[in-house]
């Protein structure tokens, strides 16, 4: 099986480059070799590679900056997935694409299921929803995997921000009125590999939108407290409200994702977010990786 991966240097892409070679030949691209803002470049890359599977891990992920760069965000998050889907349809390939919990408005009081009504409240979420719709319109076989609060020990993410602040200060304030499902990039990559094995070797050919996230709900404050506790950092974490930290892009107050459909279709049990976080931080706790600065 030949797999074309975009976004190899991103959080999820980096983990996918580790997880996918066991499935077949991997052709991994980054922004330098494939600019997703250029539809013609996308078409050339896919036609040159002739993949059986396209895994699109590239995205415009600067949620706040997207408010002032909506056109660029739309080209990468909204238009590019549609171009990839058209090329996948032409080849008869499977397209795996990552979306986000931010396609929801956060007004629900329990985890969102796949067919809940979408209503993004920021530009980033709107562009990701546009990408989902473009894929569905193209009619290719697809797995659109909505992820939530993605983090890792590389790149820029909430976990690394918390750890940096905790090393610099004796006391920090973290919002406690935003709830979601923190999910490591490694979990997403491993679950994607599992899903692809089912798609290739299984008797069924799954296609559609699935929620892929760790289990159970957390506030950002709870997540920060656990991360600091696991690493033994001496920093008090006080709860705060979102209103104390105004940002250009509004965040959903509750965007946890229900994953029963993914678990059933791909025969996997996704870990709780605390176990996922502990696994992510284990290399630091065992002295194999330096504490992020």
What is the set of active-site residues?
124
**Residue 244, CA distances (Å) to 63, 68, 133, 239, 240 in order:** 18, 22, 35, 11, 7
Q: How many CB atoms lie within 10 A of CB 48?
A: 10
Would you state the pLDDT for residue 265? 96
Q: Count of alpha carbons within 13 Å of 16, Cβ hemisphere only?
A: 29
pLDDT band at 165 (very low <50, low <70, confident <90, very high): very high
Q: By the 8 A CB rule, do 23 and 200 touch?
A: yes
What is the per-residue pLDDT for 174?
A: 98
Identify whether the C-beta of residue 292 lies closer than 8 Å to the C-beta of residue 153: yes
Question: Helix (H) and strand (E) counts for the chain?
Answer: 10, 12
- 93 near 51, Cβ under 8 Å? yes
CB-count burial class (<10 Å; 0-12, 13-18, 19+) for 238: exposed
Cβ neighbours of residue 117 closer than 8 Å, sequence gap 6 or more: none
Percentage of residues in the chain with pLDDT exceeding 70? 99
**pLDDT score of 290 more than 90:** no
The gap from C-alpha 133 to its chain's centroid, in whole angstroms, comes to 17
Q: What is the pLDDT of residues 250-267, one digit of tens each?
A: 999 999 999 999 999 999
pLDDT (mean) for 134-146: 98
- Residues contacting residue 92 through CB under 8 Å, at least 6 positions apart: 141
Residue 240 — very low, low, confident or very high, per pLDDT cuts 50/70/90? very high
Look-up of token digits 């790149």: 155
Q: How confident is the model at residue 291 (pLDDT cuts 50, 70, 90)?
A: confident
> Tens digit of pLDDT for each residue in 2-61?
999 999 999 999 999 999 999 999 999 999 999 999 999 999 999 999 999 999 999 999
Average of per-residue pLDDT across 227-254: 96
Hey, what domains does the chain have and what are their CATH numbers?
Answer: 2-155+182-217+254-272 (3.40.50.720)
Mean pLDDT of 194-219: 91
Q: Which of 9, 5, 15 is nearest to 185 (CA)?
A: 15
Q: How confident is the model at residue 242 (pLDDT cuts 50, 70, 90)?
A: very high
Q: Are 128 and 99 in contact (CB under 8 A)?
A: yes
Q: Which is more confidently placed, 113 or 202?
A: 113
Alpha helix ranges (H) inside 92-122: none
Three-class secondary structure assignment of 262-279: HHHHCCCCCCEHHHHHHH
Flag whether pLDDT at 200 surpasses 90: no
* Res 176: pLDDT: 98
Share above pLDDT 90 across residues of the chain, in percent, rounded to a whole number: 94
For residue 220, give both structure tokens.
């950002």
């Amino acid at each position: 099986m030949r797999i074309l991966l975009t976004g190899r240097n991103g959080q999820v892409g980096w983990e996918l480059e580790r997880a996918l070679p066991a499935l077949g030949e991997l052709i991994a691209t980054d922004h330098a070799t494939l600019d997703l803002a250029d539809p013609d470049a996308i078409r050339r890359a896919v036609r040159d590679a002739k993949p059986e599977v396209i895994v699109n891990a590239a995205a415009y992920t600067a949620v706040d900056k997207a408010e002032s760069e909506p056109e660029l965000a739309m080209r990468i998050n909204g238009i590019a997935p549609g171009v990839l889907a058209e090329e996948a349809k032409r080849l008869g390939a499977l397209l795996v694409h990552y979306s986000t919990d931010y396609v929801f408005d956060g007004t629900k009081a329990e985890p969102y299921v796949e067919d809940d009504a979408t209503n993004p409240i920021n530009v980033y979420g709107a562009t990701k929803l546009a990408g989902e719709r473009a894929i569905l319109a193209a009619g290719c076989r697809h797995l659109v995997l909505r992820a939530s609060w993605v983090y890792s020990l590389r790149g820029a993410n909430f976990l690394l921000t918390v750890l940096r602040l905790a090393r610099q200060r004796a006391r920090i304030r973290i919002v406690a009125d935003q709830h979601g499902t923190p999910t490591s990039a490694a979990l997403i990559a491993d679950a994607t590999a599992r899903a692809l094995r089912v798609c290739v070797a299984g008797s069924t050919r799954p296609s559609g939108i699935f929620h892929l996230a760790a289990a159970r709900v957390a506030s950002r404050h709870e997540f920060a407290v656990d991360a600091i506790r696991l690493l033994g950092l001496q920093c008090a974490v006080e709860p705060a409200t979102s209103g104390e930290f105004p940002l250009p892009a509004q965040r959903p107050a509750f965007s946890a994702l229900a994953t029963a459909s993914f678990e059933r279709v791909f025969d996997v049990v996704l870990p709780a977010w605390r176990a996922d976080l502990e696994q992510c931080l284990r290399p630091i706790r065992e002295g194999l990786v330096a504490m992020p600065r």
